[in-house]
């Protein structure tokens, strides 16, 4: 009986040949343009995306991306597909084994476990990543992604995969990039279809002349190239970290850092609070939550029906704990302040030249090091010692 029952159950929840579409973004644009996305258009989008990027079992790299050398086919094949291993113990289906239960098969951040985790797992499809060495708005480097996978994020559900062989971590980091590129292209196509085309107009019209079809395909090709290039160039955008001046007075640096922390220019106090407990502004949301307008309860219900998780306000870091999600090395803290944190209300610092007049608004590199010193001095001290 058990066997019969089992065979009847087989196939439930099987991973589809195609990635699930980005329904949440579609709903957002439907609301914005007050025009429904017809099922025919949704089907065309899905087919186009599958032609370009393949499916969860057999990912494909579009020619525009391949020419940039962004992906290693061997890693991509190992990260995709169902879980297993070959006779030599070489793993397959790495993403489904390690990541999909939280991040979802398409990297939408809505895996089965997502709801019980706080913060929610990252939705890769926006191409936005918090902890990286590149400026705000730029893509993370491969090294940024692999570092997060290897070290995990303390205090969250993101585990460290230190036990995995280096190549498996590389393969996972690359698959995250693949899902991001795919997700961004999908968003771009939804944007294009919703903003540029009539509701009944296909993205690629098979009945159009060859010239028209070539133009339509060029739009897609340009979109893919733009997204892929933004990833390619991330390696050259890494923010350099020049070490602080040697022989500086650390106590003076901490005092200056505190002044900046509480002052109007850095204005860290706004969110992190005067005592740096993360108790300042606590009603803001991150960009992933803002995708669905957290203040509109009617729209929210529609978004949640389309697969979004209910938005939760973002919690500014309690800096007195001395535990930092993006890494606690001085250069990590420097970059967090210098670049800000993508997708969150944490802004990039307004940088001014070293010899600017004092009246110029902004922070110098030395000022950032002072802030790093101040923040590093907070753990283990009582609130009253350093509150204003």
Q: Are 262 and 271 in contact (CB under 8 A)?
A: no
- Look at residue 37 and give its three-state secondary structure: coil
Q: Which is nearer to another protein, 82 or 263 (CB)?
A: 82
Q: Give least dist CB 317 to another protein, A.
A: 9
Q: Measured in Å, how far apart are the chain's first and last C-alpha atoms?
A: 72
Which residue's entry shows tokens 């009945």? 207
Q: Are 52 and 228 in contact (CB under 8 A)?
A: no
The burial class, CB within 10 Å (0-12 / 13-18 / 19+), for 49 is buried
Q: Give least dist CB 324 to another protein, A.
A: 10
206-226 in b/e form (b: 16+ CB < 10 A) is eeeeeeeeeebeeebeebbbe
Could you say whether residue 305 binds another protein (CB under 8 A)?
no
Could you say whether residue 157 binds another protein (CB under 8 A)?
yes
Tokens standing for residue 348: 């990039």
Site string for another protein, 75-114 (x = CB under 8 A): -------xxxx-xxx------xxx-xx--xx----xxxxx
Q: Give least dist CB 95 to another protein, A.
A: 9
Q: Which stretch binds another protein (CB under 8 A): 3-11, 36-44, 213-221, 295-303?
A: 3-11
Binding residue (CB under 8 A) for another protein from 68, 77, 117, 262: 117
Could you say whether residue 158 binds another protein (CB under 8 A)?
yes
Binding residue (CB under 8 A) for another protein from 67, 115, 191, 362: 115
Q: Which stretch binds another protein (CB under 8 A): 25-33, 255-263, 317-325, 361-369?
A: 317-325
> Nearest 5°: CA angle at 188, between 185 and 192?
140
Q: Which residues contact 351 (CB under 8 A, 6 or more apart)?
A: 338, 362, 363, 364, 365
Could you say whether residue 147 binds another protein (CB under 8 A)?
no
Site string for another protein, 263-282 (x = CB under 8 A): --------------x-----
Could you say whether residue 118 binds another protein (CB under 8 A)?
yes
Binding residue (CB under 8 A) for another protein from 230, 239, 281, 315: 315
Q: Report the DSSP beta bridge partners of residue 85.
A: 91
Could you say whether residue 306 binds another protein (CB under 8 A)?
no
CA of 42: how far to CAs of 45, 77, 96, 199, 297, in Å? 5, 27, 25, 11, 26
Binding residue (CB under 8 A) for another protein from 159, 202, 274, 280: 159
Which residues contribute to the site for another protein (CB under 8 A)? 1-3, 5-7, 9-16, 82-85, 87-89, 96-98, 100-101, 104-105, 110-118, 151-164, 277, 307, 309, 315, 318, 321-323
């Amino acid at each position: 009986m058990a066997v019969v029952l089992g065979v009847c159950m087989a196939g439930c929840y099987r991973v589809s040949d195609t990635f699930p579409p980005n329904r949440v973004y579609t709903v957002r644009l439907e609301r914005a343009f007050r025009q429904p996305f017809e099922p025919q258009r949704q089907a065309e989008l899905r087919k186009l995306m599958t032609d370009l990027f393949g499916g969860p079992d057999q990912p494909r790299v579009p020619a525009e991306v391949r020419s940039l050398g962004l992906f290693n086919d061997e890693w991509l094949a190992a990260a995709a597909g169902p879980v297993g291993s070959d006779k030599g113990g070489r793993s397959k289906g790495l993403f489904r084994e390690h990541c999909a239960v939280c991040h979802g098969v398409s990297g939408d951040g809505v895996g089965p476990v997502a709801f019980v985790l706080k913060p929610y797992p990252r939705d890769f499809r926006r191409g936005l990543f918090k902890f990286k060495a590149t400026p705000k708005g730029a893509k993370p480097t491969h090294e940024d992604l692999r570092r997060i996978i290897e070290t995990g994020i303390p205090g969250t559900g993101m585990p460290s995969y230190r036990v995995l062989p280096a190549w498996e971590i590389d393969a996972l980091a690359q698959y995250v990039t693949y899902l991001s590129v795919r997700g961004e292209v999908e968003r771009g196509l939804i944007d294009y279809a919703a903003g540029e085309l009539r509701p009944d107009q296909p993205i690629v019209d098979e009945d159009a002349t060859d010239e028209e079809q070539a133009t339509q395909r060029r739009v897609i090709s340009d979109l893919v190239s733009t997204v892929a290039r933004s990833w390619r160039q991330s390696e050259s955008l890494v923010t350099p970290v020049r070490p602080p001046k040697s022989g500086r007075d650390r106590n003076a640096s901490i005092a200056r850092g505190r002044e900046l922390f509480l002052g109007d220019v850095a204005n860290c106090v706004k969110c992190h609070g005067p005592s740096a407990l993360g108790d300042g502004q606590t009603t803001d949301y991150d960009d992933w939550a803002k995708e669905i307008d957290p203040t509109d309860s009617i729209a929210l219900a529609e978004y949640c029906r389309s697969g979004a998780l209910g938005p939760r306000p973002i919690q500014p870091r309690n800096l007195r704990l001395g535990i930092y999600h993006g890494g606690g090395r001085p250069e990590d803290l420097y970059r967090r302040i210098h670049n800000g944190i993508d997708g969150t209300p944490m802004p990039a610092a307004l940088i001014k030249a070293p010899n600017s007049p004092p009246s110029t608004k902004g922070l110098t590199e030395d000022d950032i090091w002072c802030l790093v010193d101040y923040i590093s001095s907070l753990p283990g001290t009582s609130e009253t010692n350093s509150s204003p």
